[in-house]
């Protein structure tokens, strides 16, 4: 390989210019290299002649340069040296380019923090057979369907026994659409006799001989289909 690989230590002279191409991202910036020499007469370090290079980067390195390099930062650039000549405005000029392989900060001049870039594997979706299904929300409210919806509320269920006991025998017998059948006739006769005895006992206990209202109501349950209906 007839290539010239160089390592340059200097400073970023311009900001990074980035743009997308058909082959991927491309970035470039001007890089200044100034050697320092010891001046024996003045007994101090002095700057030498500054050389300027155009650093080119491609694809991943190009995109990482845009968020890592600013003007004036000390850098170490490693890459291939290329010299080209072009004619501009009637004059022939020489340009020196560096196709960068690696770029980093010069830690002899300061500190730096590294952040790793994680990129998704483009073939991951095809290998796994599509996107992963979303996890169900634990806080989502489930709509109650007709099958799951209760027929009555807790309050209605608590009121049903009381309403069942308040139905009278006359009200139930007045409804021809609902056939009624005594569960046990003997129990009905016993209940009627008990009511008559209570009324006679109440009449005898009052001074005026009048009837006393029944203190309580006996309940006789009748069968209406699969359910029981109460009668006084």
What 3-state class would DSSP assign to 130? coil
Q: Are strands 227-231 and 74-88 parallel, antiparallel or unpaired?
A: unpaired
Mean of the per-residue pLDDT values for the chain?
73
Supply the pLDDT for residue 63: 92
Supply the pLDDT for residue 86: 85
- Tell how far CA 79 is from the center of its chain: 45
Q: Which helix (H) or strand (E) holds 48?
A: none
What 3-state class would DSSP assign to 216? coil
What 3-state class would DSSP assign to 165? helix
Can you list the residues of the chain whose pLDDT is less than 50? 124-134, 139-141, 144, 164, 167-173, 176, 178-183, 204-205, 227-232
Eight-class DSSP state of 108: T
Supply the pLDDT for residue 2: 79
Q: Which CATH class is domain 4-119?
A: mainly beta
Q: Where are the domains of the chain?
A: 4-119, 162-231
Three-state SS for 26-43 is EEEEEEEECCEEEECCCC
Question: How far is Cα 100 from Cα 12, in angstroms, rounded to an integer?
Answer: 14
Supply the pLDDT for residue 212: 53
CA distances from 112 to 27, 200, 228 (A): 21, 109, 87
Question: Among 57, 68, 55, 54, which Cα is nearest to 23's?
Answer: 57
Question: How far is Cα 224 from Cα 232, in angstroms, rounded to an integer?
Answer: 16
Cβ–Cβ under 8 Å, residues 84 and 97 = yes
Q: Look at the pTM and tell me if it is higher than 0.85.
A: no
Supply the pLDDT for residue 32: 96
């Amino acid at each position: 390989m007839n290539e010239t690989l160089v390592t340059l230590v200097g400073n970023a002279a311009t900001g990074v210019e980035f743009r997308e191409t058909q082959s991927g991202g491309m970035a470039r910036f001007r890089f200044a290299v100034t050697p320092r020499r010891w001046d024996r007469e003045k007994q101090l370090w002095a700057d030498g002649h500054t050389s300027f290079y155009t650093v080119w980067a491609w694809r991943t390195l190009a995109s990482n340069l845009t968020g890592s390099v600013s003007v004036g930062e000390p850098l170490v650039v490693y890459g291939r040296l290329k010299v080209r000549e072009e004619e501009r405005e009637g004059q022939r000029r020489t340009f020196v380019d560096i196709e960068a392989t690696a770029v980093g900060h010069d830690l002899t001049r300061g500190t730096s923090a590294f952040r790793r870039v994680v990129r998704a594997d483009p073939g991951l979706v095809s290998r796994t057979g599509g996107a992963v299904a979303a996890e169900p929300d634990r806080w989502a409210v489930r709509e109650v369907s007709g099958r799951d919806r209760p027929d009555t509320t807790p309050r209605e269920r608590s009121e049903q026994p009381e309403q069942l006991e308040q139905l009278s025998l006359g009200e139930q017998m007045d409804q021809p659409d609902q056939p009624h059948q005594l569960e046990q006739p003997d129990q009905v006769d016993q209940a009627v006799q008990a009511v008559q005895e209570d009324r006679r006992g109440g009449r005898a206990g009052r001074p005026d001989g009048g009837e006393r209202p029944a203190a309580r109501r006996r309940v006789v349950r009748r069968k209406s289909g699969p359910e029981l209906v109460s009668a006084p």
